[in-house]
Amino acid sequence: MKKIDRKEYTLTPISKNRYKIDVHSFKFGKNHAKRIARCYFSGPQQSWVIPQNTKSIEEFTNLFMNISNDESKPTLPLYQDAVQEFIDHLTLKRYSENTIKIYKEQIIKFFQFFKTIEPTKLTDENVKGYMLALLNKKKISLSYQKQVISAIKFYFEKILHRETKKYYFEIPRSDERKLPIVLSKNEIKKILNCTTNLKHKTILSTIYSAGLRLSEVVNLKISDIDNERMLITIKGGKGKKDRNTILSKELLVLLREYFKEYKPKVWLFEGEIGDQYSTRSVQELYYKALKKSGIKKKTSIHTLRHSFATHLLENGEDVRKIQILLGHKNIKTTEIYTHITNAGLKSIPSLLDELITKEDEK
């Protein structure tokens, strides 16, 4: 399986039966992918991928015969080299794939805002103007602002070797604390019961029963399941730290059933052609189950992790044990779930109930 290099694109082998797509002449998107057999976006590769078969490669090649003049324009004219240098530096510093993805998106938006200025000539005042535009016009959130500052700060300090002591390079601190949304045990049960596909049900059950992040469940390997010690090992979690979490007896039963039907080889959850299951696919199957369940709460796949922690607290588990299971560095991060649980609130009598009861007794 050889690398296919053309002026317009490069197909790079990433396994025995898959090519990663690198397009040089236009922005390859979802509409283009629909025109190619079994083309999909790979989260781990952060690229579009096609299988190595005649039909898919022919359809991919033929796509370039029908590109409009507008699509043929390069997307990164002035700052392509700067972006690549930025990514290379992050990679050498061993930043996680997710962090590299976020920083890359933010630095490209920053460069595009000043598309007529070469990146090396951008100034502190440019940064100030950009931040004010985002805050005043886009009304960005605090978490988004932190991402922007972190990416630009890294570029200025590590690539341009400049000092960033101005206040608009500082990460803003805030006392605001939004409580995460959680699902009740009955709502979790309803979502799982609505999931008829065995693989999908097993994925959602694994996330909830072990309190996993989205990236952690797709990175699980078969060897990470220890049915003797009833543990699941999370390797290279957030902060590139390993940890153990609990393996539910019910999940083990479900996993055995899933193994018999799907026979995964390396990854615990594999795609159609034996590759790693994508984060986007997990999100899609969750939203499909949520819609089918009829639950109206605005939740995400991460809500299963929040619910895991909250339900353990409601069951009387120690917050420090939960901190270990979740892989939180700081206990304060875990303690936010103490503000969600209704375990302590159940013992507090309702004043309205008491008032109406006394009225009825009269």
328 is catalytic: yes
Place of tokens 């025109």: 35
213 is catalytic: yes
Does residue 189 contact residue 209 with C-beta atoms inside 8 Å? no
Q: Is 305 a catalytic residue?
A: yes
Name the catalytic one among 24, 101, 235, 302.
Answer: 302
89 is catalytic: no
Q: Which position among 18, 305, 306, 311 bears the catalytic label? A: 305
Name the β-bridge partners of 177: none
The residue type of 321 is K
Tell me which of 18, 20, 213, 306 is the catalytic residue: 213
Report strand pairing: 47-51 vs 18-23.
Answer: antiparallel
SS3 string of the chain? CCCEECCCEEEEEEECCEEEEEECCCCCCHHHHCCCCCCEEECCCCEEEEECCHHHHHHHHHHHHHCCCCCCCCCCCCCHHHHHHHHHHHHHCCCCHHHHHHHHHHHHHHHHHCCCCCHHHCCHHHHHHHHHHHHHHHCCCHHHHHHHHHHHHHHHHHHCCCCCCCHHHCCCCCCCCCCCCCCCHHHHHHHHHHCCCHHHHHHHHHHHHHCCCHHHHHCCEHHHEECCCCEEEECCCHHHCCEEEECCHHHHHHHHHHHHHHCCCCECCECCCCCECCHHHHHHHHHHHHHHHCCCCCCCCCHHHHHHHHHHHHCCCCHHHHHHHHCCCCHHHHHHHHHCCCCCHHHCCCHHHHHHHHHHHC
Catalytic hit among 238, 243, 280, 288? 238
Q: Which of 103, 208, 286, 337 is catalytic?
A: 337
Instruction: Give which of 37, 157, 178 is closest to 103, Cα–Cα.
Output: 157
Instruction: Judge whether 306 counts as a catalytic residue.
Output: no
Q: Would you name the residues annotated as active-site residues?
A: 213, 238, 302, 305, 328, 337
